Chain A
Amino acid sequence: MQAPVSYKLRQQQLWLSSDRCVFWEDEKTLIVSDLHFGKTGHFRKWGIPVPQGVYKNDLQRLVGQLQYFQPKQLIVVGDLFHSHENKELELFRKWRNDFPALDVQLVKGNHDILHDRWYHETGITVTEEILSLKDLFGFIHDLSPHQWSFGSSAYYFSGHLHPGIRINGQGRQSLCFPCFYFTDKFCVLPAFSEFTGMAMIRPSSHENVFAIVDNKVMQLQ
């Protein structure tokens, strides 16, 4: 794995990881979005044989990031779980028990439909809409309904979109990569899970885009 890439935002030190997450050094917080845990299990339950290796690997990557950055807190900007409870989530619970000291914050996404009790029992603090930290950063799953009504000067982290960027090569070749997308008011995080699609973004020229190409973070603009 390549070393994370430094990114300064509002005088805060951020590190962008090629494992699709952001470490906020000042607050010792790891920020991730769209993990969609249980998605393979959901498919399989319905007779669609998606290999579960992708889920296992997602979990292992998350462990890797926790060991690397040693955060106090994990903020999930929505879609931690894909759907209803299934056996795959038992593996997640087991995993959760291995990190008792870690504070896990979930800002609810449209996929997070589990019962409140389940989150509680699994040691996850749930915020319904917006989680604000230090009046500095806000966390919200889906920005689109709120985008134009930000009153405060806070900077927002969001997910939901699964942003991707298209890079055109010679001829008709074009490749798509997941990316971090920073505008002056908000950032959209790449989906953490590998078992997710992408929505192509069309950034303006002054915005920052970091693509994840072959386990490396590459700044495109």
Chain B
Amino acid sequence: MNEKSGLVNAPTGFGKTFSVFLGSLIGFINRHPADHATRSRNGLQLIWISPLRALAKDVGRAMEEVITELGMSWKVGIRNGDTEMSERQKQKRQMPEVLIITPESLHLLLAQKGYPDLFKSLHIIAVDEWHELIGSKRGVQVELAISRIVSLQKKLFNQQCSIWGISATIGNMEEAREVLLSSLSLQGAERVVTVKANLRKEVVIESILPDEIEKYPWAGHLGIKLVHKVIPVIHQSRTTLIFINTRGMSEIWYQTLLNAAPDLAGVLALHHGSIEQELRIWVEESLHSGRLKAVVCTASLDLGVDFRPVETVIQVGSPKGVARFLQRAGRSGHRPGEVSKIYFLPTHSLELVEAAALKNAIEENFIESREPMLLCFDVLIQYLCTLAISEGFSPGELYEEVKATYCYRDITMDEWTAILDFVTTGGSALQQYDEYKKVEVIDGLYRITSRRIAMRHRLHIGTIVSESMLKVKFVSGGYIGMVEEWFVSRLTPGDVFTISGRNVELVMIKDMTVLVRKSNSKKSMVPSWQGGRMPLSANLGKKLREKFTEAFTLSSQLRVTGNGQMVLPPKIDPGSPQDPELVALQPLFQLQEQLSHIPKANELLIEHIETKDGFHLFVFPFEGRLVHEAMAAILAYRISRHTPITFSIAMNDYGFELLSDQPIPVDDTNVYELFSPDDLLNDIQRSVNATEMARRKFRDIAVIGGLIFTGYPGEQKKARHLQASASLLFNVFSEYDPNNLLMRQAYQEVLDREMEELRLRNMLERIQQSEIVITFPQQLTPFCFPIKVDSLRENLTSEKLEDRVKRMQAQLGK
């Protein structure tokens, strides 16, 4: 692998992590055949970029073991937010041969004076879990850091290091490699490779079927009713991971499992991103040692080193995507050759179709792509300031480097100039009354000379976060976890909520900290962390639509005998056994077909239903919540262009609903026109409240771009005069500097990420080729019921909701 660069791809549990590390050792041995064992203080040989801080220790330990076995004298160092000052100083004097580092800390390294010398002896940059990084701004940080290192090595030392990405399978492997290696000048075929393990991980998927299928599935009972079927699974396995989609639900599951099986107390743990780090580390270590019987967790355990004792994984609710499901399945049987066993537990009966769809997708290796982020001006601004702190930069030279990255390859000279202008003169200003100071131009070099601004910027680099999180602490001291600011903002003192499996009462919020005390109250709110709400992926949506075709076929072959028993048709093709999920769901499908229609893969189902609430229009594209949200708004806009009418809108991953107090004029004469991809962009702008969405996006961008200063330890008081909320800044920029690049980025991110514009367009083009089936059911159908119930959730508490849903179910009858 020497001299070459590329991407290593293998299923989890096949040692892909070590392939690159060993390659680095072997390269060194080959270069120093005589004295490789005794050579020490060789300078930095390998930079190991890893997205997770928590991984660093384990990876480092494993590397050290290998080094010891080989009898070599390499040192392994860790550099991230947890690394102590003394250790950093030591590294500054003498770099270890291997440095395990997060993308943020790598940028901090670039903010250090004299950083170019660190890369003199560097041979390999390895990027672990590249599939996780590529779709995020941290991935952009990696791209920029690589571009700098590659360019420096060439200029100062006339050499070029290898770059290796390590990635699980994603749909766009080729592109992922291109993004990573974009800065390398030589891209000859013989020097760029993808190493793909020729192995197939065996995955066994089993659905946990409810004893009785509810004909009216509803999103909301969280699958908790099936808890008695989970307990035997836990007892039978050595260790089980139970993946829950949101942190809020994981808290509920943890409690419910403990109540249902008290014997699990002490061997059942909870793990999610908002739990105190110490506790999380304890859980992880207990997982390694096999001390725990089961862990209820969220995406927080998606990544990372193998937990050998884990034999079984349970996925509760839709995993929303094939890649994520596969990743989670791979957390069990985490050794080459072993089988991964995953149970799928639906949170509403219709979700069982997803299990069937997932099996099929995995068989066909139909895995989602991760789209790289493009033209992130906020990250670029941060990066320019980073370089300005340490050695300064000359814009002409840096422009070439930045343009060599995949993210910024389409940046225009105008945009580049605007960015430079933004950091040096601060954009629009009142000339003689301005004292803007950040980056100064000194002898052609762009530099930050103010120590305080430099210090603030360093503290800022780590802040690529999605939500503003507040710490939760006991009044008496002791840190419990983190919650999102918007959740706390709705609480008043005295309210009880659940965090880290404990009920606590809000006392007050002070200095960005939520102070609480213990509560014995039985009732409590569960924080909902918004991060968990991923939309259904396009791939899974497609497979889902295919499964409905099968369900339809199955349904039409079903015979009902005299005593009400259903008789399934004999298997038509013994080679493709019927999915047990589809069989189990037959009562539901029967009702759907009887009341309305089961849409096949080449059909779009639209249901007109009148209830006492008004006139409903349900549409089922199966394209995920975000696309549905945008489509619902566009459809509402397009209808209202012809007829004055107002709607309220609801949606889930399967479809969306328009509700009005008058009949909704959608019929065979205009339906194709209403779903036309023509003039889409304009209609989006006219219909969707893009300003509000951009305002939400802007927070992230403003933090990364250095507009929001979150304060630093001990200086919070002083910094108060410098604080303005993202929303306020958004208003000010909208009014006084609307063409600012960061504002434009906010709108672009809304289009790309919040509305998935491309996917929306693809969907409309697909619909134009499909048959649109419009039905007029006399009552709510099994398909539309979850959407209807989901829309109730917005303004009702969960308890009342449950009563109300029960009543609705009773009314509809079985």
Contact = CB atoms under 8 A, between A and B. Distances in A.
Say if A and B assemble together.
yes
Contact of A87 (B435, B649, B794): B435
B434 A54 contact: no
Number of chain B interface residues as a range: 35 or more
Contacts of B795: 172
Contacts of B430: 52, 55-56, 88, 91
A180 to B, nearest CB: 20
Nearest to B489: A200
Given A53-B737, A54-B732, A82-B721, A47 B427 contact: no
A50 B731 CA distance: 11
Interface in A151-172: 170-172
A50 B740 CA distance: 11
A146 B460 CA distance: 39
Given A45-B437, A47-B437, A171-B794, A54 B725 contact: no
B392 to A, nearest CB: 16
A43 interface: yes
Interface in B721-754: 721-722, 724-725, 727-729, 731-733, 735-737, 740
B458 to A, nearest CB: 13
19 contacts: A41-B435, A44-B429, A45-B435, A46-B456, A47-B426, A47-B706, A48-B722, A49-B426, A51-B429, A51-B737, A53-B737, A55-B430, A56-B430, A83-B721, A87-B432, A111-B721, A172-B794, A194-B731, A196-B728
A53 B738 CA distance: 12
Interface in A193-218: 194-197
A49 B427 contact: yes
Nearest to A45: B435
Contact of B433 (A54, A91, A170): A91
Contacts of B648: 170-171
- Interface core residue of A50, A91, A171 (most chain B CB under 10 Å): A50
Contact of A194 (B437, B735, B794): B735
A184 to B, nearest CB: 25
Interface in A24-45: 41-45
Contacts of A90: 433
Contacts of B728: 195-197
A86 interface: yes
Contacts of A52: 428-430, 433-434, 736
A86 B430 CA distance: 13
B422 interface: yes
A194 B438 CA distance: 24
A34 to B, nearest CB: 13
Contacts of B432: 87
B438 A171 contact: no
Given A48-B707, A50-B724, A195 B433 contact: no
B428 A51 contact: yes
A56 B430 CA distance: 8
A50 B725 contact: no
Contacts of A50: 707, 724, 729, 732
B18 interface: no
Nearest to B426: A49
Contacts of A88: 430, 433
Provide the main secondary structure of the chain A interface. loop
Interface of B: 422-423, 426-430, 432-438, 450, 453, 456, 648-649, 706-707, 709, 721-722, 724-725, 727-729, 731-733, 735-737, 740, 794-795
A125 B138 CA distance: 53
A57 interface: yes
Interface residues of A, number: 32
A108 to B, nearest CB: 16
A87 B432 CA distance: 8
A170 B733 CA distance: 28
A44 B737 contact: no
Interface string A49-74: 11111111100000000000000000
B433 A48 contact: no
A83 B722 CA distance: 10
Given A43-B722, A52-B429, A57 B736 contact: yes
A171 B649 contact: yes
Identify the interface centre among B422, B722, B731, B733: most chain A CB within 10 Å of its CB.
B722
Contacts of A49: 422-423, 426-427, 436, 438, 707
A87 B795 CA distance: 49
Counting chain B CB atoms within 10 Å of each CB, the highest count among A41, A57, A83 belongs to A41
Task: Give the most central of A47, A52, A195, A197: most B CB within 10 Å.
Answer: A47
Interface string A88-101: 10110000000000
Given A45-B436, A49-B438, A197-B728, 15 more contacts: A42-B721, A44-B435, A44-B436, A46-B709, A47-B437, A47-B456, A48-B707, A49-B423, A50-B732, A51-B732, A52-B736, A86-B435, A87-B432, A91-B433, A194-B735
10 closest A-B pairs by beta carbon, nearest first, are A49-B426, A53-B736, A47-B438, A51-B736, A44-B436, A51-B737, A52-B430, A51-B428, A91-B433, A87-B433
Given A49-B427, A49-B707, A87-B433, A54 B735 contact: yes
A91 B729 CA distance: 23
Nearest to B737: A51
A51 B434 CA distance: 10
Contacts of B725: 197
